[in-house]
Structure 1
Amino acid sequence: MTDIQGDQCTPGREVPLVTVNRPCDEACASLILAHGAGAPMDSPFMAQMTERLVARGIEVFRFEFAYMAERRHTGRKRPPNPQALLLQQWRDVYGYVRQQTAGRLAIGGKSMGGRMASLLADELEVDALVCLGYPFYATGKPEKPRVAHLAELRTPTLIVQGERDALGDRNTVAGYPLSPAIRLSWLATADHDLKPLKRSGLTHDQHLDNAANAVAAFLHNRSFSG
């Protein structure tokens, strides 16, 4: 298995701390991966996904939104920042990372991190978008989907989704008018964290491997960047 080589970059006061994990060999593509609403950039999910992607030749950049960085500093939980601030932090991080790599650069993330990235993908003209457990609607509110922009999305996109995700299950998502630029990869009986039902005979590790395989295959496909 490929070893992870990690660095921390401190680009400036206006940009959050960025951590990068690189394959030992030359990366085929780079991905900025943002965390979800309730867990930091080094949560087990983020760490395990990063390790798997790096092993598959993907350079992974991670950062924390301001509210999560403050929680790490103070130990007190805080709700996510207003959307405008989350989006601006995404712009700042993307601008910084874009200066560090001349290759193909994708953006995305877990849940909220991926949703924020999806709102900026066309604006930033990124090479690709990757969402892991996309929150198509808030918990218990499928009647209020967050999909209007997904119908017009132009950026090549991969969404890896659990079939029983409480924020977007397979049957519900099938009724949404999604852009033809979006590819959905479904994981059998998986929830929002890509964990399958025990009775399925599948394991979380298998689903994380399958998710990483799907992302790596998508990013290795040179056709997505024209």
Structure 2
Amino acid sequence: MNAPTPETDVTSAPLPSGEAVTVPTPGGDARVTWFRARRPRAVLALGHGAGGGIEARDLVALARALPGHGVSVALVEQPWRVAGRKVAPAPKTLDVAWRAVGPKLAAQGLPVVAGGRSAGARVACRTGAGLGACGVLALSFPLHPPGRPERSRAEELLGTGLPTLVVQGGRDPFGRPEEFPAGSHDLAEVPHGDHGFAVPRKAPVTGEETLAVITEAVGEWLERLPLA
């Protein structure tokens, strides 16, 4: 497979005001939008998916919630997205850009947790250890293309070599929580959530409650994470 499977159901949300910084990479300019904690103890870097940007609701929710708990959030836009292109490049190209951004994140002098949603989660899994991250956050990890469980990407997840948290919707067609293999990673289920963590209208939880599940699960995991 030469390119990430596009996300088909990611809901966007208004992005709060942040500090945007351009970072040159071999594939063009990336952009990092910072949401800084007053007294940060860590940086959580989050990449977007192959079919959406940093306006994804889960990324926005984390950017709003975590700075108040001592974690600065850096939302990273890949060069293809900054350039206005519609289709993401191959995974290798995404990794090259992320590796170029990594030193800028580490220059803050704080422990860095690598993360992202969907294709961005795969990038974080593949590159986190090499960039010296202290953990990996995988939001809506695309364990397999929809309807193709035999094309598993579990090796990427199981091979991070770092403490890893997967946050997965209960009805995600890219991999439901019960499909994930056993491993050293933690897994937090978002009940009734799809790949974009949207829930059906008849679900017993609201969209806002779903976002709270995500931010609480990530916040609690970060509290337990050895930041070094």
Normalising by structure 1, we get a TM-score of 0.85
Q: CA deviation at 1:13?
A: 5.9
Contact 2:47 2:115 in 1 (8 A): yes
Change (3 A) 1:13 1:89: closer
Per the alignment, residue 30 of structure 2 pairs with 16
SS at match of 1:10: strand
Cα offsets for 1:60-91 (capped at 9, x unmatched) = 111211221122xxxxx522112111001110
Q: Is it true that 1:26 corresponds to 2:33 in the alignment?
A: no
Q: CA deviation at 1:43?
A: 4.0
Q: Which of 152, 162, 167 is residue 160 of structure 1 equivalent to?
A: 167
Q: Which of 26, 42, 48 is residue 55 of structure 2 equivalent to?
A: 42
Moved more, 146-155 or 162-171: 146-155
Aligned residues: 211
Unaligned runs of 5+ in 1: 72-76
Cα offsets for 1:83-105 (capped at 9, x unmatched) = 11100111011111111x21221
Q: Which of 63, 69, 81 is residue 56 of structure 1 equivalent to?
A: 69
CA distance in 2, matches of 1:59, 1:107: 12
Per the alignment, residue 227 of structure 2 pairs with 225
Q: Is it true that 1:205 corresponds to 2:208 in the alignment?
A: yes
The structure with the greater share of residues assigned to helix is 1
CA distance in 1, matches of 2:215, 2:58: 12
Moved more, 150-159 or 129-138: 150-159
Change (3 A) 1:13 1:79: closer
Normalising by structure 2, we get a TM-score of 0.84
Cα offsets for 1:16-67 (capped at 9, x unmatched) = 12111112x3123211110111111234443233112233332111121122
Change (3 A) 1:10 1:79: closer
Contact 2:177 2:187 in 1 (8 A): no
Change (3 A) 1:153 1:47: closer
Per the alignment, residue 86 of structure 2 pairs with 78
Q: Is it true that 1:130 corresponds to 2:142 in the alignment?
A: no
Moved more, 49-58 or 155-164: 49-58
Per the alignment, residue 111 of structure 2 pairs with 104
Q: CA deviation at 1:11?
A: 4.0
Q: CA deviation at 1:133?
A: 0.8
Unaligned runs of 5+ in 2: 1-15
SS at match of 2:149: coil
SS at match of 2:215: helix
Change (3 A) 1:167 1:123: same
Contact 2:18 2:34 in 1 (8 A): yes
Contact 1:58 1:216 in 2 (8 A): no
Letter matched to residue 183 of structure 2: S
CA distance in 2, matches of 1:109, 1:30: 13
Change (3 A) 1:65 1:151: same
Contact 1:163 1:187 in 2 (8 A): yes
Q: RMSD between aligned alpha carbons?
A: 2.0
SS at match of 1:46: helix
CA distance in 1, matches of 2:74, 2:158: 28
Moved more, 13-22 or 110-119: 13-22
CA distance in 2, matches of 1:123, 1:30: 17
SS at match of 2:83: helix
